[in-house]
């Protein structure tokens, strides 16, 4: 079979699978609307985040729609699904010994923190304690978004559900604690001002970002070479 025929067959199967999944979601919504209503918003958030490359503007637009606009506006045409996944163009090509000064110091403390084999956080990321895992995911999500990433987006990927004000406050505390730990890590590498900008906005739309584009890109390169990158949304593929 020629390669063109193989591609055509594959595309046909992909379309059929999408159609079947669409039917499955429709059936689920009809047969058990309560569970669908509970889960569907987070599934939609995950899909939009993957499709738009975690664009904070798209995230805010979706949240407005989920909050109230769904009453009068359809979802179709709400967002532009045009992913610009920076991780797709990266290659794992990083030799720490070639760096100097603060760049090398920063990479070395990252290596120690996320590769050490102590009881606190094993070199195997699958055995990391939750707070170490949270720090790695938050570092990665902020590093791969040059314009920053929303607090709600990060917290959702950490598995936090926003059912009430207490859960939203808990999400904010988790993100804050992780950033404090990472800032202390940066300080230990001689980065006296840390690595993050002062967060902007409020609540779930509060945006977190790197204050140095060069440091963001360097951190992103390091994460791309780490096996735990699969924990971060854009690095899954």
Cβ atoms of residues 198 and 122 within 8 Å:
no
Distances (CA, A) of 44 to 3, 15, 51, 99, 162: 35, 20, 10, 41, 15
At 13, list the tokens.
Answer: 């199967």
DSSP secondary structure code for residue 6 in this structure:
H
- Which residue in 101, 108, 116 sits closest to 185, CA to CA? 108
Neighbours of 66 (CB within 10 A): 15
User: Looking at per-residue confidence, does 31 or 78 come out higher?
Assistant: 31
Q: Which residues contact 121 (CB under 8 A, 6 or more apart)?
A: 113, 114, 127, 128, 129, 132
pLDDT given at position 50:
72
At 211, list the tokens.
Answer: 């204050």
pLDDT given at position 133:
92
**106-135 average pLDDT score:** 79
Q: What DSSP string describes 52-99?
A: HTS-HHHHHHHHHHHHTGGGT--STTSS------GGGG------GGG-
pLDDT given at position 227:
87
Please give the biggest Cα pair distance in the chain.
61
At 67, list the tokens.
Answer: 């909050």
**26-35 average pLDDT score:** 93
Question: What pLDDT, in 10s, does the model give residues 49-70?
Answer: 777 766 767 777 888 888 888 8
How high is the mean pLDDT of the chain?
Answer: 83
Question: What pLDDT, in 10s, does the model give residues 173-221?
Answer: 999 999 999 999 999 999 999 999 999 998 888 999 999 999 999 999 9
What pTM was computed for the model?
A: 0.64
């Amino acid at each position: 079979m020629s390669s063109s025929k193989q591609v055509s067959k594959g595309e046909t199967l992909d379309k059929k699978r999408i159609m079947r999944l669409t039917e499955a979601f429709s059936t689920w919504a009809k047969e058990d609307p309560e569970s669908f209503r509970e889960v569907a918003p987070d599934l939609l958030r995950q899909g939009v985040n993957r499709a738009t490359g975690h664009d904070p503007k798209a995230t805010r637009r979706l949240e407005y729609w989920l909050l109230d606009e769904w009453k009068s506006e359809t979802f179709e045409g709400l967002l532009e699904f045009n992913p610009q996944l920076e991780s797709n163009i990266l290659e794992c090509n990083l030799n720490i010994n070639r760096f100097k000064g603060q760049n090398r110091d920063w990479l070395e403390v990252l290596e120690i923190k996320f590769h050490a084999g102590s009881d606190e956080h094993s070199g195997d990321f699958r055995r990391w304690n939750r707070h170490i895992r949270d720090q790695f995911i938050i570092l990665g999500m902020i590093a791969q978004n040059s314009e920053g990433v929303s607090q709600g987006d990060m917290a959702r990927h950490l598995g936090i559900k926003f059912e009430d004000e207490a859960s939203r406050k808990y999400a904010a505390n988790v993100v804050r604690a992780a950033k404090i730990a990472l800032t202390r890590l940066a300080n230990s590498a001689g980065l006296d001002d840390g690595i993050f900008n002062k967060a902007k906005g409020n609540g779930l739309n509060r945006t977190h970002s790197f204050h140095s584009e060069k440091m963001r890109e360097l951190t992103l390169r390091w994460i791309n070479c780490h096996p735990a990158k699969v924990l971060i949304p854009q690095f899954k593929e």
